[in-house]
Amino acid sequence: MCGIIGVIGTPNAARELYGGLLTLQHRGQDSAGLLTSDETFHLYRGIGMVSQALPLEALTQLTGEMGIGHTRYATMGSGKIEETQPHAVSFPYGISMAHNGNIVNYQSLVQDLRKSKNRHLSTRTDIEVILNLFAHYLSREANGTGFEIEGLFNAIWSAMQDLVGAYSVVGVISQQGLLGFRDPGGIRPLVIGKKKASFGFSYALASESATLRFLGYELMRDIEPGEAVFIPKLGEPFFRKLRDEPKKSCMFEWVYFASPESQLDGIPVYAARLAFGKSMARKVLKHILDKNLNIDLVIPVPDSSRPAAIALAEALRIPYREALIKNRYVQRTFILDSQTKRESAVQLKLSPVESEIRGKNILIVDDSIVRGTTSRQIIRMLKEAGASRVYFASTCPPIKNPCYYGIDFPVREELIAFEKKISEIRDELQADELIYTDVEDLEGALNTKSICTACLTGNYPTDVSEAERLTNDRIVDRQKEEDS
């Protein structure tokens, strides 16, 4: 999962891109990069959070009225600077791209690009595959006639026929304009907005609507699954639906990843999380009645579970307390790239308020349980702070299957719910009770079945026959990172 942004028609693209990446920091903390375009490309990339990776003095070198930016959460390749996005090729025209997602058939496409299309790849990132495929097809479309919008859409269509997986892409074509497209299932999000400029309008593409709002853009709409958009310099957007397949947006966007003030596919994230809490309240009430649970307090695991915990506490009329205090200078633990880092970060991230906890029966509400690392340590922390009993509620159903689409749990054996009953998970976490929502309640809270629930059900929206190779590569990459 990463954050992407593209802008065009603004006097200082670099500053807008930088501000936009700050609002997308929660989507990736490994590295960040900016590319702007005038007569040529200007690129700056760095390791770490946006403020570390992109020093403000570097923005003065990034001139131009259009550009793209990326904040990375690595799910392929290494954390080296060479693999930080955006990436660029010089032929044809000069093209740069950044994306959010994972290409499942990456290895096959790499072989095809090298052997059949004479393309050299210098990194192990899948954006290089997307970029080189598109460049190959766009050069074939041009065929000496020059740049044409119809040819651009044809090139994106051709690339989509080859790509299997999840991807939202933003790109710049030198001297021509800004482009974006979304995978046929719409697994990864992409929105477009506009605002009044000196001459006409400026436009922006981004992973989330909150980014557009922060930069003063009015949300126009989501880019549809399988749709592409091209915004020429000093022109209005051209849209083209290239693939028409069932929408399968990633449910984890609403559960965990997206910013609460965003709206994705017409569904407000904050409202969705409130609905998760109301749905979970019914499950908790059944446990209270069936198992005679006595709950004194509802406590959220900050931050993404807070709306659900509030809604649950209100529905059950149980006191709500912020009794886990978050250290805001620590990264999101889920998206750290190793188990060792995640375990140590939990200790730094959360501190219990003992005066509120001691002697109480606590219901902890979290957005999800993936590997169980954070959940197990929180339960232990609360018991050490004097909690009499700790009950745990997850607003996401048990995650039993790997994600191959851009969330970093590709190894099923690492998942705490893999081949385990809920009672076994409860005992492993050392919780006094464990309560999950189910897939039907999740779909009901979102009021749609057009979501990807592969990690819950094992029903993947794309071919995943090459996923084992992808997983093995990720294991090797992680080991190299930990060894270094």
Pair of tokens at residue 460: 């993947």
Give residue 348's pLDDT: 81
Let me know if residue 61 belongs to a domain.
yes
Give residue 150's pLDDT: 96
Neighbours of 34 (CB within 10 A): 31
- Per residue in 176-227, pLDDT tens? 999 999 999 999 999 999 999 888 899 999 999 999 999 999 999 999 999 9
Give residue 199's pLDDT: 81
- Say if residue 244 is in the same domain as residue 274: no
Work out the end-to-end distance of the chain between its first and last CA atoms, rounded to an integer number of angstroms: 23
Give residue 345's pLDDT: 63
Q: Burial, 6: exposed, middle or buried (Cβ in 10 Å; 0-12, 13-18, 19+)?
A: buried
- Say if residue 200 is in the same domain as residue 333: no
Give residue 481's pLDDT: 63
Give residue 198's pLDDT: 82
- Residue 74: pLDDT over 90: no
Mean pLDDT for the stretch of residues 313-325: 97
Mean pLDDT for the stretch of residues 342-367: 87
Let me know if residue 376 belongs to a domain.
yes
- Say if residue 228 is in the same domain as residue 368: no
- Say if residue 86 is in the same domain as residue 206: yes
Let me know if residue 199 belongs to a domain.
yes
C-alpha 253: how far from its chain's center? 7
- Say if residue 98 is in the same domain as residue 235: yes
- Say if residue 285 is in the same domain as residue 221: no
Give CA–CA dist 25/3, Å, rounded: 7
Q: What is the DSSP letter of 253?
A: I
Q: Check if the beta carbon of residue 103 is closer than 8 Å to that of residue 129.
A: yes
Q: Check if the beta carbon of residue 323 is closer than 8 Å to that of residue 352.
A: yes
- Say if residue 234 is in the same domain as residue 108: yes
Give CA–CA dist 55/53, Å, rounded: 6
Tell me what percent of the residues of the chain surpass a pLDDT of 90.
84
- Per residue in 400-458, pLDDT tens? 999 999 998 989 999 999 999 999 999 999 999 999 999 999 999 999 999 999 999 99
Q: Check if the beta carbon of residue 261 is closer than 8 Å to that of residue 213.
A: yes
Model confidence, pTM: 0.93
Give residue 484's pLDDT: 57
Give residue 478's pLDDT: 67
Give residue 53's pLDDT: 96
Q: Check if the beta carbon of residue 80 is closer than 8 Å to that of residue 88.
A: no
Let me know if residue 451 belongs to a domain.
yes
- Residue 290: pLDDT over 80: yes
Cα–Cα distance list, 250 to 51, 256, 345, 429 (Å): 28, 11, 26, 26
Mean pLDDT for the stretch of residues 336-341: 50
Give CA–CA dist 200/198, Å, rounded: 6
Q: How confident is the model at residue 343 (pLDDT cuts 50, 70, 90)?
A: low
* Residues contacting 439, CB < 8 A, separation 6+: 397, 453, 456, 457
- Per residue in 94-119, pLDDT tens? 999 999 999 999 999 999 999 999 89
Let me know if residue 260 belongs to a domain.
no
Which of 216, 248, 280 corresponds to the end of one domain?
248
Give CA–CA dist 55/395, Å, rounded: 38
Give residue 75's pLDDT: 79
Number of domains present in the structure of the chain: 2
- State the CATH number of the domain containing residue 21: 3.60.20.10
- Residue 474: pLDDT over 80: no
Let me know if residue 258 belongs to a domain.
no
Let me know if residue 471 belongs to a domain.
no
Mean pLDDT for the stretch of residues 60-70: 96
Cα–Cα distance list, 98 to 2, 7, 405, 413 (Å): 10, 13, 16, 31
- Per residue in 5-53, pLDDT tens? 999 999 899 999 999 999 999 999 999 999 999 999 999 999 999 999 9
Give CA–CA dist 92/90, Å, rounded: 6
CA dihedral in degrees (321, 322, 323, 328; nearest 10)? 180
Residue 60 belongs to domain spanning = 3-248
- Say if residue 233 is in the same domain as residue 282: no
- Per residue in 159-169, pLDDT tens? 999 999 999 99
Give residue 189's pLDDT: 97
Which of 2, 403, 452, 455 is an active site residue?
2
> What's at 353, amino acid-wise?
V
Angle, CA of 464, 170 and 406, to the nearest 5°? 30
Give CA–CA dist 202/195, Å, rounded: 6
Give residue 17's pLDDT: 98
Give residue 443's pLDDT: 97
Computed over every residue of the chain, the mean pLDDT equals: 93
Give residue 318's pLDDT: 98
- State the CATH number of the domain containing residue 288: 3.40.50.2020
- Say if residue 244 is in the same domain as residue 278: no
- Say if residue 27 is in the same domain as residue 128: yes
Give residue 79's pLDDT: 75
- Say if residue 304 is in the same domain as residue 166: no
Strands 263-264 and 267-268: antiparallel
- Say if residue 369 is in the same domain as residue 320: yes
Q: What is the DSSP letter of 302?
A: T
Pair of tokens at residue 239: 């849209």
Give residue 479's pLDDT: 67
Let me know if residue 475 belongs to a domain.
no
Does 403 participate in catalysis according to the annotation?
Answer: no
Mean pLDDT for the stretch of residues 464-474: 83
- Per residue in 120-129, pLDDT tens? 898 889 999 9
Q: How confident is the model at residue 395 (pLDDT cuts 50, 70, 90)?
A: very high
Give residue 480's pLDDT: 65
C-alpha 230: how far from its chain's center? 23
